[in-house]
Structure 1
Amino acid sequence: MANKSVFAAAMGRLLPRTDVRNREGAPAFAYDARHKLAQLAVTGTFNAGFYAQAQEQLGDAFEVCEGVSPEFLGQAAVYARKSGHMKDMPAFMLAVLSRRDSALFARAFGRVVDNGRMLRTFVQIMRSGQTGRKSLGARPKAMVQRWLNEASDAQLLHASVGNDPSLADVIKMVHPKPKDKNREAFFAWLIGKPCDIALLPQAVQDFIRFKETRKGGLPDVPFQMLTALELNKHQWRDIALNGGWHMMRMNLNTFVRHGVFEDVGVTRAIADRLRDVEAIRKARVFPYQLMSALTALDGEAPTIIREALHDAMEIAVSNVPVIDGSVAVCPDVSGSMCSPVTGFRRGSTSVVRCVDVAGLVTAAMLRRNPDCQVLPFEHDVRSVRLEARDTVASNAERLASIGGGGTNCSAPLARLNRDGKAPDLVLLVSDNQSWIDAGNSRWNDGTETLRQWEILKRRNPKARMVCIDIAPYGTTQAQEREDILNVGGFSDNVFDVITAFANGNMSADHWVGQIEGVEI
């Protein structure tokens, strides 16, 4: 038998050389500008993470936005909003684009700014001066004016909820020319000026009347406009039944406090709405948002509500692929994964952590592929017993409860190699900041993750690996090539990409290619 250590060293010399150090100072591969922007587009939140402060994320985002073509910047902004369901990052990219290419900006504007909250976020970012200008400028101002005039009455009413800036601030800033007398009256009411009430939308007239008398049915306005008023149980039940899907999900504990669930019929109706397939898909809900609702649900909430959230979770991950072949899923359960998935922000930090998202991806894959092997890792692979027939949320919770040590992305691959296994598809879900195994790799001489992958490939040349990156740090342990795909994000859209890659229907750089295919 030939000396294995000699041949292992020879293989190492053939590996691509690393070109950067990650946040732990270990060898890694840097994404190119387009891929880094794609990663930021679907994972960046401008909140502090485990390895990066909010201002550092902002600097990285601005630098990479400047380093790609205006066309790709616009495409990434649209992709982040439409496929990644992000908010702050697409608005930021749109703001940068407004300075770099005003024509492309105008074409992308309506696809990124698709509701009042996005409009206010865009204006806030523009006014901050962080994108190279401190005022809106002629073209952005015209696009905001256009949105204000073309928005429906309901869209404007919903946009009026929120501050910093408020919709009134935006209207005062851009001075839109009303398209008719009715919109003129509406703008006046929104900024607190006298107006002809008879010209206001019916919902606003109903709200004014209800606010004065507290009589009659609830007006059809955003529930936030009503909650400051003293309402009885029946009125709270009407709010619960008539609100949007996300409002219902986010206010279940509020409904507990106001006695909404004391009515069995109302409780059943809310449960049915929570598990409604079309409502879930229309809401573009993140699976982790459902986990957040389950985690925070008041113990006094009826069991049927908790079960409905579990059902909603199953629906939200229903596009998880059934893989034709063997599968291994490797969730990172190290200490750095315990940071909130959307970062630390005082007063609004998510209770869902990166490790919870990794657990969700793993549990969802296990549910659809019950024979897949699960290899959670930190310093080394950790043991955990999961049942494929358990709910996705329950299995995710079990996975997230273990671990907490340092990051070793090569550990699950090394375990597969020691056991003589070579699955057709390996999914590695991590923040990619591996360092425990750095001593096994010389600087500029590959990574241990890539080295272990090469060993596995000897036993199964057709094997493919997908590295799902859920943090905006810009490096990977496994460089893209025909059998390795790096994809970012924590929306269920990631599963579509996995499906295409696993089936051989896309190349390793096709995630960026998908963004390049966006029409604006």
Structure 2
Amino acid sequence: MANTQLFQSLKGKFLPQANAANFEGAPAYAMSPRHQLAQYAATGCLNATYYASAEAQLETVLELCKEVDAHFVAQTAVYCRERGYMKDMPALLTATLAGKGSPELSRTFKRVINNGKMLRNFVQIMRSGAVGRKSLGTRPKKLVQAWLNNASEKDLLSAAVGNAPSLADVVKMVHPKPAEAWREAFFAWLIGKAYDPQALPPLVKAFEAYKADRSQPLPNVPFQMLTALELSDQAWAQIARQSGWQMLRMNLNTFARHGVYALPGMTACIAEKLRDAEAIAKAMVFPYQLMAAYAAANKEIPMEISEALQDAMEIALNNVPEIAGKVVVCPDVSGSMHSSATGYRGSATSAVRCIDVAALMAAAMLRKNPDTLVLPFENDVVACNVNPRDSVMTNASKLASIGGGGTNCSAPLAQLNKNKAKADLVIFVSDNESWVDAKRGGATATMREWNIFKQRNPNARLACIDITPYSTTQAVERADILNIGGFSDDIFQIVADFAAGQLSSAHWVGEIQSIVI
């Protein structure tokens, strides 16, 4: 009879050897430089995380930008802005192209720097010296001038909200030469120089008129320009009616403080705006931002508004695809996942944790694929009853309320193997900092368990979604294993394409490389 122990050990020898260590010092697999850059760009907000400081992240990204070619840097910047909805990282990558004098700079700038906030981010990074210079340089200066000379009045006013640098600082740096009289008057008004009041554009003219006489109509300007003024409840209601979707989401408690919901029809008006599918899509909202708004809603906010946020969540996740076959989702609920999803930013730190994002992704997949098996894990798999008929928000809250132990990424696979379970797609949502299952030498425990699982499910695929800016994984990239990073709903479609065998052999990196610059 064959020696079963011998042949079982031989199987393990053919698995890829771990070639790196994660932040816990446990065996892991290093991603390629391109994959690392994509991972940092799609998840990093340049703030301190559970394992890495903001400075360490910045240093890593800059080193990776030196290792990979400028064209891929440009593709990553565009992907992370257009499909990943990121802000700081795409601006940083665009700035590195400026620092290199890359020919891709102009085309990348036009796609990444698509609003005033992104413009100020870009200028701030360039002036900081982070990419090797403290001046903008000729080409970047011309690109900034072109943005200023082509932006609409509304875009310029939105850009004027914020500091470090302010839009006024940017104008003083680059000295735009506008062709229109209204733009020339606007820039003069912005930086405090003499201007012709009659030449001011309509919104600024209305704003100045309102400051001088409160009987004038409330101007449709960013509400931050109005908050220094004493406003009536009716004026706050008008602000709510005029506001964009993201601004509305972020100020629900503010409207409660100013009595807006008590005014006739305003609760229904705000709820309707929150449920507007077109506005949700245009706002490029992260699903977790809706969870944050729902969690932050205080007792003064009407139930109709909370219900509208739940409706908005369902709409935001409309494009979560149905996946053929049996799906298993494994959200990481360990201690490290309780850190802020966007990193530590002092008093501005987001209340949304990595565990909330993982729970939300699992709940969204369950909602669209009701037969999905959900296996949350920490030291081991944690029991949690979730109902596919419950709302995404309800199931996400259940999952996010459990866990807190160490990280054992192999635990769900070990349980599936113990139960001799069948599945076509297994999805992990984790930070990949597995250490409870660490062993010296050879493959990671996750790869060992996946190897056993594959013997029973030869066509199964494993998708590892990482929501942290780190550079190792527990499952090495290969034909049946996808490693992908990010928060946006674009992740779900890529996972679905992978499950259907529709991704190129380069998987996620291949998706980025397909972007035409």
How do residues 25-44 of structure 1 correspond to structure 2 at under 5 angstroms? 25-44=25-44
Q: Distance in 2 between matches of 1:227 and 1:22?
A: 47
Residue range with higher mean Cα deviation, 481-490 or 102-111: 102-111
Contact map agreement 2:209 2:216 (CA 8 A) in 1: no
Q: Distance in 2 between matches of 1:177 and 1:277?
A: 39
Structure 1 residue 194, shift from structure 2 partner: 1.3
How do residues 213-292 of structure 1 correspond to structure 2 at under 5 angstroms? 213-292=213-292
SS in 2 for 1:438: coil
Q: Distance in 2 between matches of 1:437 and 1:202?
A: 64
> Residue by residue, what CA displacement relative to the aligned partner does 1:326-373 show, whole Å, maximum 9, x if unpaired?
010000000000000000011210000000000000000111111111
Candidates 497, 500, 503, aligned match of 2:497: 500
Structure 1 residue 149, shift from structure 2 partner: 0.3
Structure 1 residue 4, shift from structure 2 partner: 4.1
Q: Distance in 1 between matches of 2:157 and 2:122?
A: 18
- List structure 1 runs of 4+ shifted beyond 6 angstroms: none
Distance change >3 Å, CA 221–CA 150, structure 1 → 2: same
Distance change >3 Å, CA 139–CA 2, structure 1 → 2: same
Q: Which amino acid aligns with 1:10?
A: L
Q: Distance in 2 between matches of 1:4 and 1:333?
A: 36
In structure 1, the residue matched to 2:159 is 159
Q: Distance in 1 between matches of 2:428 and 2:159?
A: 40
SS in 2 for 1:330: strand
In structure 1, the residue matched to 2:145 is 145
Alpha-carbon RMSD across the aligned residues, in angstroms, is 1.0
Aligned pair count reads: 517
Contact map agreement 1:280 1:312 (CA 8 A) in 2: yes
In structure 2, the residue matched to 1:76 is 76
Q: Distance in 2 between matches of 1:371 and 1:102?
A: 49
Q: Distance in 1 between matches of 2:295 and 2:340?
A: 14
Structure 1 residue 299, shift from structure 2 partner: 1.0
Structure 1 residue 3, shift from structure 2 partner: 4.6
SS in 2 for 1:428: strand
Q: Distance in 1 between matches of 2:60 and 2:219?
A: 45
Contact map agreement 2:329 2:427 (CA 8 A) in 1: yes
Q: Distance in 2 between matches of 1:437 and 1:464?
A: 22
Structure 1 residue 509, shift from structure 2 partner: 2.2
Structure 1 residue 438, shift from structure 2 partner: 0.5
Q: Distance in 1 between matches of 2:210 and 2:304?
A: 33
Say if 2:446 is the partner of 1:449. yes
Q: Distance in 1 between matches of 2:189 and 2:300?
A: 41
Q: Which amino acid aligns with 2:336?
A: S
In structure 2, the residue matched to 1:58 is 58
Candidates 432, 457, 466, aligned match of 2:463: 466
Q: Distance in 1 between matches of 2:438 and 2:126?
A: 42
Q: Which amino acid aligns with 2:183?
A: R
Structure 1 residue 103, shift from structure 2 partner: 2.0
How do residues 61-140 of structure 1 correspond to structure 2 at under 5 angstroms? 61-140=61-140
Q: Distance in 1 between matches of 2:137 and 2:221?
A: 33
Q: Distance in 1 between matches of 2:267 and 2:96?
A: 46
Say if 2:473 is the partner of 1:476. yes
SS in 2 for 1:320: coil
In structure 1, the residue matched to 2:198 is 198
Contact map agreement 2:161 2:225 (CA 8 A) in 1: yes
TM-score (norm 1): 0.98
Structure 1 residue 36, shift from structure 2 partner: 0.6
Q: Distance in 2 between matches of 1:5 and 1:201?
A: 81
Q: Distance in 1 between matches of 2:508 and 2:335?
A: 28
Work out the percentage of aligned pairs sharing the same amino acid.
Answer: 58
Structure 1 residue 394, shift from structure 2 partner: 1.0
Structure 1 residue 107, shift from structure 2 partner: 1.4
SS in 2 for 1:347: helix
Distance change >3 Å, CA 119–CA 4, structure 1 → 2: same
Q: Distance in 2 between matches of 1:209 and 1:244?
A: 23
Structure 1 residue 102, shift from structure 2 partner: 3.4
Q: Distance in 1 between matches of 2:7 and 2:227?
A: 70
Say if 2:328 is the partner of 1:310. no
Structure 1 residue 422, shift from structure 2 partner: 2.5
Q: Distance in 1 between matches of 2:303 and 2:182?
A: 47
Residue range with higher mean Cα deviation, 6-15 or 401-410: 6-15
Structure 1 residue 264, shift from structure 2 partner: 4.1
Structure 1 residue 311, shift from structure 2 partner: 0.5
Distance change >3 Å, CA 236–CA 278, structure 1 → 2: same
Contact map agreement 2:43 2:468 (CA 8 A) in 1: yes
Q: Distance in 2 between matches of 1:436 and 1:102?
A: 45
> Residue by residue, what CA displacement relative to the aligned partner does 1:179-238 show, whole Å, maximum 9, x if unpaired?
232211111001111100110101101100100111121112111101111011111100
SS in 1 for 2:426: strand
Q: Which amino acid aligns with 2:465?
A: I
Contact map agreement 2:356 2:396 (CA 8 A) in 1: yes
SS in 2 for 1:468: strand
Structure 1 residue 321, shift from structure 2 partner: 1.5
Structure 1 residue 13, shift from structure 2 partner: 0.5
Q: Distance in 2 between matches of 1:115 and 1:282?
A: 13
Candidates 497, 506, 510, aligned match of 1:509: 506
Q: Which amino acid aligns with 2:466?
A: D
Q: Which amino acid aligns with 1:325?
A: G
In structure 1, the residue matched to 2:372 is 372
Q: Which amino acid aligns with 1:324?
A: A
TM-score (norm 2): 0.99
